[in-house]
Amino acid sequence: MISFAGGLPAPELFDITGIRAAYDRVLAEIPRQALQYSTTEGDPELRTAVADRLTDRGLPTDADDLLITTGSQQALTLLTTALVEPGGVVLVEDPCYLAALQTFAFAGARVVPVPTDDQGLIPAALEEIAAREKATLLYIIPTFQNPTGRTLPAERRAAVAEAAARHGFWIVEDDPYGELRYDGERVPSIAADPTAADRTVLLGSFSKVMAPGLRLGFLRAPAGLRRACVIAKQAADLHTSSIDQAAAARYLRDSDLDAHVAGMRAAYQERRDAMLEGLPAALPEGSRWNRPEGGMFIWVNLPDGHDATALLRTAIGHEVAYVPGAPFFSGEPDPGSVRLSFTTHSAEEIGEGLRRLAKTFA
């Protein structure tokens, strides 16, 4: 089976040597501290290292602005606990990351989809919806979105910040993929826009740059909301694993994460390009797809009459898999949409997978 379905980082690219060395040093040098309970806010050295990385990337951040979370998924849960009451309105891009939709649904939120186009969320549509709904928050993945791979241009980011300031909703900016850029220029974070700085929360993750099994993420939020999230986290798990945080901090001190990420970017770029090269021959006439500048996903729209969910069975018969796009929609689903992940197979395997996909549509 060649699977373009999972949203997983490539395991052969994990820096196992560096991560193992970091755990070894922590257990040799600070074993009692690393195995003891610690503070809810998170390991001070790790928070300082994350704050420095964000500051270097144009988002001035202090260690105290951050809460370390058990993956950025937990940050979503904590924010939802802190902000969303049953019936409360949560605005989302349509389509949107599935596990975020689940988190909002568990809290009894009323999820309202905001239409998107090839450049992501449409500001005029957001404005129209925000004028009619009393929204609590907008959840948005502006860079290399899951599931579409799209990146929201700077003007649209500014429009989102203005809408949040005008209508008084929170922006939850989820950015697990931002460091995986293969070409083009970095677009500044919405959190760096002063217009809505007091109502923007940034979520980050070590999953895509280090390893998802560490379950390490972080949340950068204004003081009042951050305190509410700290209280919610105390109730959820007291704190994120002390030893994992200490090892990550040690890794950031002793290893060169940027060099490691540069290696990942080179590998993923080659895989993205292999997929883009093979798609024209693999997809039926009239299909459309995008060319993401980074991240892990390409978004395909099969022509009218093609149902990606129904076709998946045929694809699996040819030993290739993908994720149908329909479940990512909270509005009207596009039955011909498909999410393809290009990260976990070599360029050769991607070529072979696409030849199998072509048989699915033959």
**Interacting residues with ligand PMP (CB under 6 A):** 7, 71-73, 97, 141, 146, 174, 176, 205, 207, 212, 217
Q: How far is the CB of 7 from ligand PMP (least distance, A)?
A: 5
Sign of CA dihedral 73, 122, 327, 322: negative
Residue number with the shortest CB distance to ligand PMP? 71
Closer residue to ligand PMP (CB): 42 or 71? 71
Smallest separation (angstroms) from ligand PMP to the CB of 190 = 15
**Is 73 or 136 the residue whose CB approaches ligand PMP more closely?**
73
- CB of residue 42 vs ligand PMP: minimum separation in angstroms? 14
For residue 78, the minimal CB distance to ligand PMP (Å) is: 12
Q: How far is the CB of 339 from ligand PMP (least distance, A)?
A: 11
- Amino acid at the residue 144: F
Shortest Cβ 216–ligand PMP spacing (Å): 7
Output the six-digit token pair for 27: 């257990």
**Comparison of 65 and 175: residue with beta carbon closer to ligand PMP:** 175
Report the residue number, 71 or 149, with the smaller CB distance to ligand PMP: 71
Q: Using the minimum distance from each CB to ligand PMP, give the nearer residue, 206 or 289.
A: 206
Give a three-class secondary structure readout of the chain.
CEECCCCCCCHHHCCHHHHHHHHHHHHHHCHHHHHCCCCCCCCHHHHHHHHHHHHHCCCCCCHHHEEEECHHHHHHHHHHHHHCCCCCEEEEEECCCHHHHHHHHHCCCEEEEEEEECCEECHHHHHHHHHHCCEEEEEECCCCCCCCCCCCCHHHHHHHHHHHHHHCCEEEEECCCCCCECCCCCCCCHHHCHHHHHHEEEEEECCCCCCHHHCCEEEECCHHHHHHHHHHHHHHHCCCCHHHHHHHHHHHHHCCHHHHHHHHHHHHHHHHHHHHHHHHHHCCCCCEECCCCECCEEEEECCCCCCHHHHHHHHHHCCEECEECHHHCCCCCCCCEEEEECCCCCHHHHHHHHHHHHHHHC
* Nearer of residues 141 and 338 to ligand PMP, judged by Cβ: 141
Q: Give me the least distance between CB of 358 and ligand PMP, in Å please.
A: 28
- Residue with smaller CB distance to ligand PMP, 195 or 240: 240
Minimum gap (Å) between residue 25 Cβ and ligand PMP: 24
Nearer to ligand PMP, 77 or 195 (CB): 77
